């Protein structure tokens, strides 16, 4: 039966493919395709895990037999019998081995896939006693997963490199899709998960998935931001998706509309194949603007810079025609490391090499490195406990510069690495989430300390321009104070909106209130840009607003001349700029600023 689920539009584009439903975080296991030659091995792993759990239960049963009858609770004995029965039931064993043999799923994935199938059957049972047996099934499967558990915790950690990009069995394709795919082309796979961390997503680049859907998350959550950077169709905040979608369901993700179609009709598939082709053509047209300078019709030059997460992303930045990196989210070097078996924090040398690689990758163009912004939806390590992200309101907690100032030794290591990399090209050092003058002063002292240490050790380093992110309303309201200390400002609209409107950017239940057109936001933006420009200081916007073409004209009208965004967004924003007249946009932007309802002001 066809139905649709609405979520938040994250990244443009359409993908049509088969669902791969990831188990809930309780059973967050590795999902990967095995080589056909490994089928036997995987079946043996599964059987061995089952035998181990059977033995464990039998051992407990034997212990119960030795107890005086009164001490052996009848419920427990019955429960263990049920668990044994479930484990030895052929429906489970056959189902799991089918996933392994026919679909080449690894044992853990096969187990969770079969659990999902059986759990649905239990849900549909009339008898409440039988319906409740679902919990028992979950328990025995969870026990088997524990036995199977290997190293690593990320969903992609154990994807063998040999399977990357490998064709998935085409199975039976809807006829419209059959026509659209090349004869040897695999049916795309779409990952459906309750949640994915931003660092999980970075591994998407090397994975077999062509799109993803999550139940949680807002448009400017970091998972969504990374997805936009990867340019893969995605929808977040699609509530109940992993309950409503079954393994192998056909799905259409409409990343522009934030809609997910489940089991679409042949006509809908045809329609979306058409939309997908149109999108691809449009992208091809836009790439022709790559070498065209971003200048308005009335001759105003605009700098379009790139937001990156990893040094290697500079290739995409260059490819898209960026004139520098406006935001290198350095925290991605620090995230999800223990899951990969690395030390918790990268040391100075590792960081230095990463920053130097970014500088060299930009071939002399400036690179803005933002110091570590860990916290909120970017935990250092998902598995680590007791971190900043464990608190009730992590977005208001020990995040970004607050965390760095609480861990000065760690921060100085990062500052030293950045200063050293500055000997190889122009680096602008950007500090996130500042709100207090005391924080500014402490930060400047630590930068001095890093320089003094390098001087004392005779280590070469370069000069950097210092910038502050304006992403807390308090900072926006004291722009002129910030300008006394900094060479440039960069407005982080994602957080500025979150903190001004008191909307958790990760919480899909309040996503409808996350409104960049809110007059308070527009007023703050105008004021920061105007104050910085009046003092001859450089100001940019590096939040998602900068890459969203619905804001380009307004930001130009406010006088903004430096935008930083995902490389994939640069061509479309550039096209808007090439069609704009900055002088005409200024009075129009003023009109919007004066309005209680900015949406009511017609476009120019």
Is 108 near ligand PEP (CB under 6 A)? no
CA atoms within 13 A on the CB side of 400: 21
Tell me, residue by residue from 24 to 43, as one string, x for binding to Mg ion by CB under 5 A and - for no binding: --------------------
Binds Mg ion (CB under 5 A): choice among 471, 504, 508, 548 = 471
| Residue 225 phi, psi dihedral angles, 5° rounding | -65, -45
Is 561 near ligand PEP (CB under 6 A)? no
User: In the bound complex, what is the minimum distance in angstroms from residue 344's beta carbon to ligand PEP?
Assistant: 21
309 binds, among Mg ion, ligand PEP, none (CB under 5 to 8 A by kind): none
329 binds, among ligand PEP, Mg ion, none (CB under 5 to 8 A by kind): ligand PEP
* Non-local CB neighbours of 148 within 8 Å, separated by 6+ positions: 29, 45, 46, 49, 107, 108, 111
Site residues (CB under 6 A) for ligand PEP, limited to 464-483: 471
Alpha helices per DSSP H over 73-192: 74-88, 90-103, 107-123, 128-148, 175-180
Site residues (CB under 6 A) for ligand PEP, limited to 369-408: 373
Q: Report the alpha-carbon distance of residue 111 to residue 89 in Å, rounded.
A: 13
Is 492 near ligand PEP (CB under 6 A)? yes
How, if at all, do strands 250-254 and 14-21 pair?
antiparallel
Tell me the β-bridge partners of 259. Answer: 6, 254
Q: Do you know the residue count of the chain? A: 604
Q: Report the alpha-carbon distance of residue 299 to residue 583 in Å, rounded.
A: 10
Q: What is the dihedral of CA 228, 431, 217, 503, to 10 degrees?
A: -130
547 binds, among ligand PEP, Mg ion, none (CB under 5 to 8 A by kind): none
Per DSSP, 221 falls in state: S
Binds ligand PEP (CB under 6 A): choice among 229, 264, 379, 543 = 543
Tell me the β-bridge partners of 209. Answer: 189
Please identify, using beta-carbon distances, which residue of 20 and 529 lies nearer to ligand PEP.
529
User: In the bound complex, what is the minimum distance in angstroms from residue 373's beta carbon to ligand PEP?
Assistant: 5
Residues 343-348: contacts with CB within 8 Å, 24+ apart?
Answer: 344/380, 344/381, 344/384, 345/410, 345/413, 347/413, 348/413, 348/416, 348/417, 348/420
Binds ligand PEP (CB under 6 A): choice among 111, 434, 542, 582 = 542
Which residue out of 83, 104, 542, 566 is catalytically annotated?
542
The piece of 20-28, 43-51, 348-356, 491-499 that touches ligand PEP (CB under 6 A) is 491-499
The piece of 226-234, 389-397, 491-499, 586-594 that touches Mg ion (CB under 5 A) is 491-499
Q: Report the alpha-carbon distance of residue 491 to residue 229 in Å, rounded.
A: 19
Site residues (CB under 5 A) for Mg ion, limited to 259-288: none
Instruction: Please provide the DSSP assignment of 527-576 as one string.
Output: HHHHHHHHTT-EEEE-SGGGG-HHHHHHHHHHT--EEEE-GGGHHHHHHH
Q: Residues touching ligand PEP: how many (CB under 6 A)?
A: 11
Please identify, using beta-carbon distances, which residue of 354 and 541 lies nearer to ligand PEP.
541
Site residues (CB under 5 A) for Mg ion, limited to 297-356: none
Please identify, using beta-carbon distances, which residue of 42 and 471 lies nearer to ligand PEP.
471
Which residue out of 31, 222, 404, 566 is catalytically annotated?
222
Contact 516, 499 (CB under 8 A): no
User: In the bound complex, what is the minimum distance in angstroms from residue 505's beta carbon to Mg ion?
Assistant: 9
Binds Mg ion (CB under 5 A): choice among 142, 309, 313, 495 = 495
Binds ligand PEP (CB under 6 A): choice among 381, 495, 504, 508 = 495
559 binds, among ligand PEP, Mg ion, none (CB under 5 to 8 A by kind): none
The piece of 38-46, 332-340, 445-453, 489-497 that touches ligand PEP (CB under 6 A) is 489-497
Please identify, using beta-carbon distances, which residue of 140 and 542 lies nearer to ligand PEP.
542
Contact 162, 35 (CB under 8 A): yes
Please identify, using beta-carbon distances, which residue of 255 and 492 lies nearer to Mg ion.
492
Please identify, using beta-carbon distances, which residue of 475 and 483 lies nearer to ligand PEP.
475
Between vectors from CA 183 to CA 177 and to CA 188, what angle results, nearest 5°? 50
The piece of 143-151, 155-163, 312-320, 493-501 that touches ligand PEP (CB under 6 A) is 493-501
User: In the bound complex, what is the minimum distance in angstroms from residue 350's beta carbon to Mg ion?
Assistant: 24
The structure tokens 């290997």 sit at 150
Q: Report the alpha-carbon distance of residue 594 to residue 588 in Å, rounded.
A: 10
Is 494 near ligand PEP (CB under 6 A)? yes
542 binds, among Mg ion, ligand PEP, none (CB under 5 to 8 A by kind): ligand PEP
The piece of 86-94, 167-175, 206-214, 495-503 that touches Mg ion (CB under 5 A) is 495-503
Contact 20, 209 (CB under 8 A): yes
Q: Is 404 labeled as catalytic in the residue annotation?
A: no
Please identify, using beta-carbon distances, which residue of 311 and 492 lies nearer to Mg ion.
492
User: In the bound complex, what is the minimum distance in angstroms from residue 220's beta carbon to ligand PEP?
Assistant: 6
User: In the bound complex, what is the minimum distance in angstroms from residue 285's beta carbon to ligand PEP?
Assistant: 28
Please identify, using beta-carbon distances, which residue of 21 and 226 lies nearer to ligand PEP.
226
The structure tokens 């091995």 sit at 41
Edge-to-edge strand list for the sheet holding 3-6: 3-6, 259-262, 250-254, 14-21, 189-193, 209-214, 234-236, 8-11
Site residues (CB under 6 A) for ligand PEP, limited to 194-233: 225
Q: Which CA distances in Å does 239 have to 194, 224, 248, 389, 413?
A: 9, 15, 19, 23, 41
Binds ligand PEP (CB under 6 A): choice among 11, 112, 114, 493 = 493
Active site residues: 222, 542
Q: Footprint of ligand PEP on this chain (CB under 6 A)?
A: 225, 327, 329, 373, 471, 492-495, 542-543
């Amino acid at each position: 039966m066809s139905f649709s689920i609405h979520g938040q539009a994250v990244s443009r584009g359409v993908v049509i493919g088969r669902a791969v439903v990831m188990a809930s975080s309780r059973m967050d296991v590795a999902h990967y395709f095995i080589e056909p030659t490994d089928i036997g091995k995987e079946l043996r792993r599964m059987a061995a895990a089952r035998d181990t759990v059977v033995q464990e239960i039998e051992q407990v049963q034997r212990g119960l037999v030795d107890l005086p009858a009164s001490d052996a609770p009848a419920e427990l004995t019955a429960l263990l019998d049920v668990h044994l029965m479930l484990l030895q039931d052929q429906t489970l064993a056959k189902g799991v081995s089918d996933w392994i043999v026919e679909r080449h799923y690894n044992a853990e994935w096969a187990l969770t896939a079969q659990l999902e199938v059986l759990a649905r059957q239990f849900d549909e049972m009339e008898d409440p006693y039988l319906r409740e047996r679902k919990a028992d099934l979950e328990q025995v499967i969870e026990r088997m997963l524990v036995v199977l558990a290997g190293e690593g915790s990320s969903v992609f950690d154990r994807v063998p490199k040999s399977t990357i990009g490998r064709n998935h069995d085409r199975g039976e394709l809807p006829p419209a899709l059959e026509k659209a795919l090349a004869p040897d082309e695999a049916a795309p796979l779409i990952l459906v998960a309750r949640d994915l961390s931003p660092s999980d997503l970075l591994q998407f680049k090397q994975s077999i998935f062509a799109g993803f859907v999550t139940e949680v998350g807002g448009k400017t959550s970091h998972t969504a931001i990374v997805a936009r950077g990867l340019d893969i169709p995605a929808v977040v905040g699609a509530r109940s998706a992993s309950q409503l979608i079954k393994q192998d369901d056909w799905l259409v993700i409409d990343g522009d509309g934030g809609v997910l179609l489940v089991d679409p009709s042949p006509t809908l598939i045809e329609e979306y194949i058409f939309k997908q082709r149109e999108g691809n053509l449009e992208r091809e047209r836009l790439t022709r603007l790559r070498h065209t300078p971003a200048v308005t019709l009335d001759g105003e030059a605009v700098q379009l810079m790139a937001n990156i997460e990893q040094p290697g992303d500079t290739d995409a930045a260059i490819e898209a025609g960026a004139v520098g990196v406006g935001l290198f989210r350095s925290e991605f070097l620090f995230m999800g490391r223990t899951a990969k078996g690395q030390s918790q924090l990268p040391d100075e040398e590792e960081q230095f090499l990463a920053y130097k690689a970014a500088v060299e990758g930009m071939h002399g163009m400036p690179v803005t490195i933002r110091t570590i912004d860990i916290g909120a939806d970017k935990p250092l390590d998902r598995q680590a406990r007791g971190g900043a992200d464990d608190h009730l309101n992590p977005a208001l907690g020990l995040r970004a510069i607050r965390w760095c100032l609480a861990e000065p030794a760690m921060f100085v290591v990062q500052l030293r690495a950045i200063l050293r990399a500055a000997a190889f090209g122009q680096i602008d050092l950007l500090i996130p989430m500042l709100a207090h003058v005391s924080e500014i002063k402490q930060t400047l002292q630590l930068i001095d300390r890093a320089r003094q240490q390098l001087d004392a050790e005779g280590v070469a380093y370069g000069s950097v321009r210092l910038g502050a992110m304006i992403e807390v309303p308090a900072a926006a309201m004291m722009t002129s104070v910030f300008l006394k200390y900094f060479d440039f400002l960069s407005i982080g609209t994602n957080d500025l909106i979150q903190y001004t409107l008191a909307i958790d950017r990760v919480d899909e239940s309040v996503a409808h209130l996350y409104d960049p057109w809110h007059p308070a936001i527009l007023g703050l933006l105008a004021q920061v840009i105007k104050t910085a420009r009046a003092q001859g200081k450089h100001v940019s916007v590096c939040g998602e607003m900068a890459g969203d073409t619905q804001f380009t004209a307004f930001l130009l009208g406010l006088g903004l001349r430096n935008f930083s965004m995902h490389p994939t967004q640069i061509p479309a924003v550039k096209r808007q700029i090439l069609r704009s007249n900055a002088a005409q946009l200024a009075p129009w932007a003023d009109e919007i600023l004066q309005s209680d309802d900015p949406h009511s002001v017609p476009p120019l």
